[in-house]
Amino acid sequence: MTTICNTLAAVRGRIATACAAAGRNPSEVRLLAVSKTFDADAVREALEAGQTAFGENYLQEAAGKIDALAGQGAEWHCIGPIQSNKTRLAAEKFDWVQSVDRLKIAERLSAQRPEHLPALNVCLQVNIDGGASKSGVAPEGAAALAEAVAALPRLRLRGLMTIPEPAADYAAQLTVHRRARELFDALCARGLALDTLSMGMSADVESAIAAGSTMVRVGSAIFGARPKPDA
């Protein structure tokens, strides 16, 4: 029988194999389990199997799960697009927001982060392959946005997040992921203290790790196919 415990172990195995192939230590790559569309019971099962970091796209859906599982050690990452009138829920409920792509959103998150919580961890979402309809700051704009976000008092800028278009093969995936790594390194060279490059999903964990990902976001390979196609 396929259980979340088994699929998690299989994904951890893929990460370990990819790290070995790249000459990297597996402790350098975190696994974010993307639980969007799956219920709190599925998340609880993953928690019991030792998984602590969870990614959610839809704020309202996530808020219910976050409340249901309060106090059980889960760390919640918002990875979906945020409208500026929805920032409060993100600032109040999440530990990380990886989908910051403009200053207005960052300013609102900083202003709305409750005093009793630590600074909100954020990543800038970068439109690394230039998809016309996609969210994400253009690579050329990333440095200026990063410096402005890093200066906000209630945010802690951790790094970059990318969601490239599905690529035809491993080599094509690698080319795009390497571009993200170069941008990440360039920002670090400007003096920004970044530690997170969030890239790689169920279909491209291996190429992302080869290119230097420090966090892979895996949904369907852990929880199964989602009921409806995701936007």
Ligand X SMILES: *Cc1c(COP(=O)(O)O)cnc(C)c1O
Binding segment for ligand X (CB under 6 A), chosen from 6-14, 63-71, 186-194, 196-204, is 196-204
Q: How far apart are CA 57 and CA 133, in angstroms?
A: 18
* Bridge partner list, 163: none
Binding segment for ligand X (CB under 6 A), chosen from 23-31, 89-97, 100-108, 216-224, is 216-224
Which runs of consecutive H residues, i.e. helices, occur in 31-190?
A: 40-48, 59-68, 87-93, 103-112, 142-150, 170-189
The binding track of 78-107 with respect to ligand X, each residue x by CB under 6 A or -, is -x----------------------------
Q: Which is nearer to ligand X, 75 or 147 (CB)?
A: 75
Backbone angles phi, psi at 3, to 5 degrees: -115, 165
The three-state secondary structure class of 125 is strand
By the 10 Å C-beta count (0-12 exposed, 13-18 middle, 19+ buried), 144 is classed as exposed
Binding segment for ligand X (CB under 6 A), chosen from 20-28, 65-73, 113-121, 214-222, is 214-222
Q: State yes or no: residue 220 binds ligand X (CB under 6 A).
A: yes
- The distance of closest approach from Cβ of residue 101 to ligand X in the complex, given in angstroms and rounded to an integer, is 12
Q: Which is nearer to ligand X, 6 or 117 (CB)?
A: 6
Q: Which residue has the tokens 């190429």?
A: 207
Give the footprint of ligand X on residues 149-178 (CB under 6 A): 163
- The distance of closest approach from Cβ of residue 35 to ligand X in the complex, given in angstroms and rounded to an integer, is 10
- The distance of closest approach from Cβ of residue 220 to ligand X in the complex, given in angstroms and rounded to an integer, is 3
Q: How far apart are CA 191 and CA 130, in angstroms?
A: 26
Query: CA triplet 156, 158, 160: central angle to 5 degrees?
Result: 135
Q: Which is nearer to ligand X, 147 or 174 (CB)?
A: 174
Half-sphere exposure of 204 (CA within 13 A, CB side): 26
- The distance of closest approach from Cβ of residue 71 to ligand X in the complex, given in angstroms and rounded to an integer, is 26
Give the footprint of ligand X on residues 13-72 (CB under 6 A): 34, 36, 57
Q: Which is nearer to ligand X, 89 or 147 (CB)?
A: 89
Q: State yes or no: residue 218 binds ligand X (CB under 6 A).
A: yes
Q: Which residue has the tokens 């859906």?
A: 61
Please tell me what DSSP assigns to residue 86.
Answer: G
Chain positions contacting ligand X, by CB under 6 A: 34, 36, 57, 79, 163, 201-203, 217-221, 230
